Chain A
Amino acid sequence: MKRSGSDSRLRAVAIALAGLLLGLIAWQIAGQRDPVLLATPVRSFEALVAMVGDGTLPAALLDTGLLFLVGLAAAIVGGVGYGLALSRSRMLRGSTGWLVFALQSVPIVALAPLILAAFGFGFGAKTLVVFLSAVFPILINTAEGAKHAPKTLLEVARVHRSGEWPLWRDVLVPHTLPYAMSGIRQGIAMAFVGTFIAEFFLQATGIGGLLLSASARFDSATVLGLTVLVSVIAALLMGLGRRLEKAFAPWREGSTE
């Protein structure tokens, strides 16, 4: 059984690699036919290497990474915190619950120029765009999870005369954590998109800025090289998100729920 399992995994990797190779070959052929609009993979790779050489790529990566991380961290803290608070306070739920669901459906792309203009195009304003992109899936997943805390376990806590803080520690937070984690997984993807939105407007910075200026110069080698790089990073982040989601609920393993 185990052997066939690793065999099938090997086959999956081989298929994925074959697909990738096929894609690269197609890209190379297409690039050779029209070298202006579509740079070849080789040239795209060279463009990336050149940007590493002159230091622009590492600096841009650092910029983008910082913006992404700070925005995401703020969204996690805000989303999980407020989501838990919503579940415990009827007043908060009544007064702001509807607002959360309304804001959730507002496309941040449309608001980004306004936000950036209002808050001065600096790091703070850009962080706000990332935060707003990522916070709603985290907030809503957390609130939904916390709302469905099992009634029996809340009774168990009451029978044991649990105070409010131990109730959070023993019941609400551990119950909600897996829900929050799937919210965070979605939030990572949204924060990623939000980071580029924030980088694209007016004072373009980071990877988004490099992409934008290369695109304006019709430098297709740089554009394609960066696009591939960004996709790889996104894929890695999603993998990390999924890993995190599993790691935070070891007690769920093998449960049929």
Chain B
Amino acid sequence: MSLHDRRKASTLTSPERGGAAVTIDGVTMRFGDRVVASDIRVEVAPGEIVSVVGPSGCGKTTLLRAVAGLLTPSEGSVRVDGEIVDGTPDGVGMVFQHFGLFPWKTVEANVAYPLRLRGLQKEEIAARTRELIEMVGLSGFEKSYPHQLSGGMQQRTGLARALAVRPRVLLMDEPFGALDAQTAEVLRFELLRMWEERPITMLFVTHSIDEAVLFGDRVVVLKGRPGRVHEVIDVALPHPRDRAVARSEAFAALRERVWSLVMSPDAGQAG
């Protein structure tokens, strides 16, 4: 109930939250004999951001790949707006840790890629691409190739491409993990600002506890080998999540809580 009230409160300050509901229903991921994730159950409400943290090897990236339809769960299922994921559903955007840009395409062509695949009209592609590039602050770099850009600028391109399809769900695979600390910090707050303008469902896999708390409405802590859901923490921090929020005592307390959960001796094996 309290969760529901909080959701209502936050919609007062920001526009209606859009996006799809994502249900991860008893998902087990197995590669041969190796079980990577076991019986994961997470419900993500429309417009909610759920962060997934855990030590490396807990299967968080594998889980994200299952939601993206890149891997098929060995057991259980993933549903997006009630439909079982079998191959990536329409309206799912993904941001990759190492950007996943086509080195032979310019910034413009990389951002336009999903639009071209959808067979949109040339003028519409051009207009939307321009809009997206402006939104991520890359105007003037349209004709640059990825290798000519800094890591931060490459990930801005990756972000613009993920947003090009006006996604219902945004899947983030450690999106700032390959960037230097300062660039990552700048991009975090820019992404949050964009999200406040148009809130959509987000599943955010990260190994940064700060990032998980900063973004998440809830933080799912995975632990053990195979990884299981160890704990789910409600993050009752106000929106918009800006630098002031990141400095608050409430933030620090939550951060400590998640930290101790991630760092505590493995309880996942027993349960």
A contacts, CB < 8 Å to B:
152-153, 155-156, 158-162, 166, 170-171, 174-175, 249-252, 254-255
Complex CA gap A252/B70 in Å reads 29
Q: How far is the CB of A51 from chain B (nearest CB, A)?
A: 47
Contact B113 A160 (CB under 8 A): yes
Q: Which residues of A contact B31 (CB under 8 A)?
A: none
Contact A251 B145 (CB under 8 A): yes
CB contact between A158 and one of B88, B90, B146 (< 8 Å): that residue: B88
Interface contacts beyond A152-B100, A156-B94, A250-B145: sample of 14 additional A-B pairs, CB < 8 Å, sorted by A: A152-B96, A155-B100, A156-B102, A158-B69, A159-B88, A160-B113, A166-B116, A170-B105, A170-B113, A171-B102, A174-B104, A251-B104, A251-B147, A255-B147
The range of chain B's interface size is: 20 to 34
Contact A159 B104 (CB under 8 A): no
Q: Which residues of B contact A174 (CB under 8 A)?
A: 102, 104-105
Taking CB atoms and an 8 Å cut-off, the chain B residues in 105-120 that contact chain A are 105, 113-114, 116-117
B177 at the binding interface (Cβ < 8 Å)? no
Q: Which residue of A lies closest to B119 (CB)?
A: A166
B contacts, CB < 8 Å to A:
68-70, 87-88, 90, 92, 94, 96, 98, 100, 102-105, 113-114, 116-117, 145-148, 165
Contact B114 A158 (CB under 8 A): no
Complex CA gap A59/B222 in Å reads 77
CB contact between A255 and one of B92, B96, B103 (< 8 Å): that residue: B103
Q: Decide: A160 near B114, CB < 8 A? Known: A152-B100, A155-B70, A255-B103.
A: yes
Query: How would you classify the secondary structure of chain B's contact residues: helix, strand, loop or mixed?
Result: loop
Contact B100 A156 (CB under 8 A): yes
Complex CA gap A170/B68 in Å reads 20
Complex CA gap A250/B145 in Å reads 9
- 6 pairs of A and B residues whose beta carbons are closest in the complex: A174-B104, A156-B100, A251-B104, A255-B147, A152-B100, A251-B145
24 A-B pairs within 8 Å (CB atoms) are namely A152-B100, A155-B70, A155-B96, A158-B87, A158-B88, A159-B68, A159-B94, A160-B114, A160-B117, A161-B90, A170-B102, A170-B113, A171-B102, A174-B104, A174-B105, A249-B104, A250-B145, A251-B103, A251-B104, A251-B105, A251-B145, A251-B146, A252-B103, A255-B147
Complex CA gap A160/B68 in Å reads 10
CB contact between A175 and one of B88, B100, B104 (< 8 Å): that residue: B104
Q: How far is the CB of B93 from chain A (nearest CB, A)?
A: 8
| Interface contact tally, CB-CB below 8 A | 55
Complex CA gap A158/B171 in Å reads 14
Complex CA gap A174/B113 in Å reads 14
Q: Which residues of B contact A152 (CB under 8 A)?
A: 96, 98, 100
Complex CA gap A68/B135 in Å reads 53
Q: Which residue of B lies closest to A249 (CB)?
A: B104
Q: How far is the CB of B23 from chain A (nearest CB, A)?
A: 19
Q: Which residues of B contact A170 (CB under 8 A)?
A: 102, 105, 113
Contact B87 A161 (CB under 8 A): yes
Contact B98 A159 (CB under 8 A): no
Complex CA gap A159/B147 in Å reads 23
Q: How far is the CB of A119 from chain B (nearest CB, A)?
A: 40
Complex CA gap A255/B102 in Å reads 13
Q: Which residue of A lies closest to B165 (CB)?
A: A160
Residue from B94, B98, B103, B114 having most chain A Cβ neighbours under 10 A = B103
Q: Which residues of A contact B70 (CB under 8 A)?
A: 155, 158-159
Q: Which residues of B contact A158 (CB under 8 A)?
A: 69-70, 87-88
Complex CA gap A166/B113 in Å reads 10
